Amino acid sequence: MTGVPAPPPTLDRIDRKILHELMQDATLPVTQLAERVGLSQTPCWKRVQKLEAAGVITGRVAIVDPVSIGLGLCVFVEIEAADHTPEWRASFAGVVADYPEIQEVHRMAGEVDYLLKVVVSGMSAYDALYLDLTKRVPCRNVTSKFSMERMKSTTVLPIDTSAT
């Protein structure tokens, strides 16, 4: 028996409302946050602290428009591993962690072993990444799927703020 990673802290309706608000706008002053969730300042502030300490809130970040900073190309990369050993996985994990252009890495069920989301300035930058990555880690197959238009993009998670 391996056990589950962590006992998820129990969040009540007010906690979830707090998260819902802060996921949309982390600049919201505690005063306003408190009235939106139906609490007064002090206990509201304490809940926010608790959610941060518990690792439920992992950070507060600025969201930047990729196009404005010259990152016009988004690519989803499907990878089949050369073999299915713990060693390959560890090596792969280490390599993808190195690239700031790789925004997301998922280990997948089904045909595709890994799915990557990559953000770069353009085709030549992507090709450089592709060549470098496939040099560092052996892949049976790599399929690149190119985004033409980012129609929707949000960091707000679908949290349920109704009922208990």
Partner DNA sequence: GTTGAAACCAAAATAGG
Partner DNA sequence: CCTATTTTGGTTTCAAC
Residues that bind a copy of itself (CB under 8 A): 5-6, 8-9, 11, 16, 19, 22-27, 54-71, 74, 76, 93, 96-97, 99-110, 112, 114-115, 119-120, 145-159
Q: Which stretch binds DNA (CB under 7 A): 27-35, 77-85, 89-97, 144-152?
A: 27-35
Residue 65 vs 87, nearer CB to a copy of itself: 65
Token match 């962590």: residue?
Answer: 6
Count, residues near DNA per rule CB under 7 A: 15
Cβ 12 to a copy of itself, closest distance in Å?
12
Q: Is 27 helix (H, G, I), strand (E, B) or coil?
A: coil
Q: Is 155 helix (H, G, I), strand (E, B) or coil?
A: coil
Contact residues for 81 (Cβ-Cβ < 8 A; gap 6+): 88, 89, 92, 113, 114, 139, 140
Asked if residue 108 lies in contact with residue 115, where contact means CB atoms within 8 angstroms, the answer is yes
Residue 2 vs 68, nearer CB to a copy of itself: 68
137: left (phi over 0), alpha (psi -120 to 50) or beta: beta
Per CB under 7 A, does 158 bind DNA? no
Contact residues for 101 (Cβ-Cβ < 8 A; gap 6+): 118, 119, 120, 125, 129
Residue 15 vs 113, nearer CB to DNA: 15
Per-position x/- string for 32-61, each x denoting binding to DNA as judged by CB under 7 A, each - no binding: ------xxxxxxxxxx-x------------
141 binds, among a copy of itself, DNA, none (CB under 5 to 8 A by kind): none
46 binds, among DNA, a copy of itself, none (CB under 5 to 8 A by kind): DNA
Largest CA distance in the chain: 57
130: left (phi over 0), alpha (psi -120 to 50) or beta: alpha
Cβ 101 to DNA, closest distance in Å?
28
> Which residues contact DNA by CB under 7 A?
14, 29-31, 38-47, 49
